[in-house]
Every structure is written in C-alpha cells, then in structure tokens.
Amino acid sequence: MAVKTSDFPARQRQFNEDIAAGAFKPCYLIYGDEAYLRLQNRDKIVKALGGSESSMNFNKYEGDGCNPLEIIDMAETMPFLSDKRVILVENSGFFKSGCPELAEYLKASAESTILIFVEKEVDKRKDIYKSLSKTGFEIECSTQDEDMLKRWVVSRFSNEGKKISPRAQAVLLDRVGTDMSNLTTEIEKLVCYAIDRNEITEEDIFAVCANYLTSRIFDMTDAISSQNQRRAIELYYDLLALKEPPAKILALITRQFNIMLQIKEMTDNRRDKGEMASAVKIAPFLVGKYQTWARNFSFEQLREALELCLANDEAVKTGKLDHVISVEMVIIKCTSIGKAV
C-alpha cells in the first residue's frame, strides 16, 4: 500500500477553512499524483471564486504550450464589473521545468487577479515554486495511506446510507487499488448494486468491482511469456499509475512464476487439472492458462526467473536497488528468451 509523504490533512483543513472564510490568497498551487484530489480541490476553489467557463473574468490555460507572457498580460487586465479575475493554469509544466517570467511575476502579482496552478509534478527547487510558496498557498495531493483511504471509503458509503466492515474495506482496496478515481467509480457501482440493503459485503465487492490489479498482472504474465517486452513494460507502468507499490507487483510476478513452475512439474507428472488447481490454490479453469505460459519456459528458466525475483527483492530491502528498477529488470530479463533467463 502506498505511503503518504505529505502533511496533506493539515493543508486540506487550512484550504477548506480559508475558502469558507473567504480568505483567498493571490495564487494557489494544487499538485501531486492523486488526480482525484487535485481535481476536487481545483473545482472547489474555482467554484468558491465564482469562476465558470461563461464568465468574462475567468480564463483557463492548459498544456505545456502555455505562454507565460500571455498569462501575465491577462493577469494584469482589470476584471469586468467584478473585484477579481480568476486564471486557471493546468498541466503547464512550469513547476517542473521552471518559468522565470512567472517566478518573478508571482512575487508581486496584480491584487485584482487570483492565479490557480494545477500540476501533477513539481520541482521544489525551481524559483516559481519558491515564489508561489511565499505569497500564495500550495497543497500536495499525494497518494493517501491505507488508514486514510479506509476512513474516506467509510465516509463515502455513509453519505449514501451504507455501512462497510473493516474486512470489506480491506478487500475493496486490495481489489481496486488506491487510486481514488477508480475507488469512486466502484463505490458508486456498489451503492447501486446494494440499493435495497444498508451494508456492503465482501460478496458484493467480488460480484461488482473490477479487479484492476489481477487483470493487469495476468496480462503482464501473458506479455512476458510471449516475449512482448514493450507490452509488459506498458502494463507495469499502468499498475504504477494505479498507485500499486512496485514491491507488491514484484511479489505477484514472483507468485506467477512459482505457479508456472509447479504447474509445469505437475503437468510432466500427468496430474489432472483438479489436483493442480488445488495444489497451487487457483481456480481449475486457470490451469490451462498457466500451462500455456509455462510451455514458453524451460524448467531452468523458470527457476532462474524465480531466483532473480527473490534476489531483486532482497536487493531492494537492503537498499542496493531501486524498487521501480527492480521490477523493470525482471521484466526485461524474462522477456529475453533468446538469452538465459
């Protein structure tokens, strides 16, 4: 499970209190890898300031092609029949690559304009970040830890008149992952599914929720066994985008190779599919899939793949190897069937 690395709760509380009190800063930076929180806070501040697409005093700039001089020019333009002009700048890359013009302007921006920047990535060493942090307000919307996500899940269900047990909460997070946008979608589905009941059960979750992690792990295993390195790497980064920790992904890849090795051995020993499924604790209908995957590897290659997974896991735990790179190494090595695995 992802680990929260910011003081998000305190910053979020301050953000909400300032909006409620109408105590607005001249500029805002909303950033971080949790898109759901970024967009929620963006919409909250824009709405509080009366910004809308139809307003003459609301301007929006988006993408890495934004012209900083054009933004500054608009910021210096007096609002029409209003106290404030609101300028929203999204995904500009200014806070990652830097922007000297805006860095200087934010030190003393027009009092009649409020600038809102929404970015995924930020380099805190850049002058533009330092300028905004001195005159404005910044909030990092990072991936939340398990406890906070569980409280949020309980709150979302409570708002719909539903309860969910601690065990069911854990099942939901394990099945869907930590991405709050995906969780929101699955919570909405569960509320509709259990419309005539006041409690969400584990059975409901298994019946309704998409298994984001398992489906991609299976697709990745398919790509690895067919030597499709590019596809396997793409799927790996899809999982990272879903906020799945590399350590968890490596553990699941290790499990896949372990099952393949056992299935290959049992197939050679002419065990029936029911016995195989019971031995490795998978559904009987999945045995054929694992047999297909296993046929693409020799016994030696499967054993060496397992040893590589375990060695990389140990290297990460001892600080000798980066988590993200450790999984990439496994994928690259295991999709090079022409070489020793």
- Report the pLDDT averaged over residues 179-202: 93
- Report the pLDDT averaged over residues 20-31: 96
Task: Assess whether 200 and 323 both reside in one domain.
Answer: no
Task: Assess whether 221 and 315 both reside in one domain.
Answer: yes
Task: Assess whether 197 and 111 both reside in one domain.
Answer: no
pLDDT of residue 3: 42
3 falls within a domain? no
Instruction: Answer whether residue 142 shows pLDDT above 70.
Output: yes
Task: Assess whether 119 and 35 both reside in one domain.
Answer: yes
Do the Cβ atoms of 59 and 86 come closer than 8 Å? yes
Sorting pLDDT into bands at 50, 70 and 90, what band is 337? low
Instruction: Answer whether residue 338 shows pLDDT above 70.
Output: no
Task: Assess whether 221 and 199 both reside in one domain.
Answer: no
75 falls within a domain? yes
Task: Assess whether 217 and 200 both reside in one domain.
Answer: no
Instruction: Answer whether residue 184 shows pLDDT above 70.
Output: yes
Do the Cβ atoms of 213 and 247 come closer than 8 Å? no
pLDDT tens string 64-96: 899 999 999 999 999 998 899 999 999 999 999
Q: Which domain holds residue 101?
A: 8-140
Task: Assess whether 152 and 218 both reside in one domain.
Answer: no
Task: Assess whether 306 and 198 both reside in one domain.
Answer: no
Task: Assess whether 101 and 66 both reside in one domain.
Answer: yes
pLDDT of residue 6: 54
SS (H, E, C) the chain: CCCCCCCHHHHHHHHHHHHHHCCCCCEEEEECCCHHHHHHHHHHHHHHCCCCCCCCCEEEEECCCCCHHHHHHHHCCCCCCCCCEEEEEECCCHHHHCCHHHHHHHHHCCCCEEEEEEECCCCCCCHHHHHHHHHCEEEECCCCCHHHHHHHHHHHHHHCCCEECHHHHHHHHHHHCCCHHHHHHHHHHHHHHCCCCCEECHHHHHHHCCCHHHHHHHHHHHHHHCCCHHHHHHHHHHHHHCCCCHHHHHHHHHHHHHHHHHHHHHHHCCCCHHHHHHHHCCCHHHHHHHHHHHCCCCHHHHHHHHHHHHHHHHHHHCCCCCHHHHHHHHHHHHCCCCCCC
Predicted TM-score (pTM) of the model is: 0.67
pLDDT tens string 209-221: 877 777 788 888 8
pLDDT tens string 108-141: 999 999 999 999 999 999 999 999 999 999 999 9
CATH number where 203 lies: 1.10.8.60
6-20, 51-65, 148-162, 207-221: which is most confident: 148-162
Look at the chain and report how many structural domains it folds into: 3
Task: Assess whether 126 and 21 both reside in one domain.
Answer: yes
Residue 109's Cβ-count burial label (10 Å; 0-12, 13-18, 19+) is buried
- Report the pLDDT averaged over residues 165-173: 91
327 falls within a domain? yes
Last residue of a domain, one of 120, 140, 160: 140
Residue 8: both structure tokens together: 């998000």
269 falls within a domain? yes
218 falls within a domain? yes
340 falls within a domain? no
- The rounded mean pLDDT for the chain is 90
86 falls within a domain? yes
pLDDT tens string 266-280: 999 999 888 998 898
Sorting pLDDT into bands at 50, 70 and 90, what band is 62? very high
pLDDT of residue 240: 86
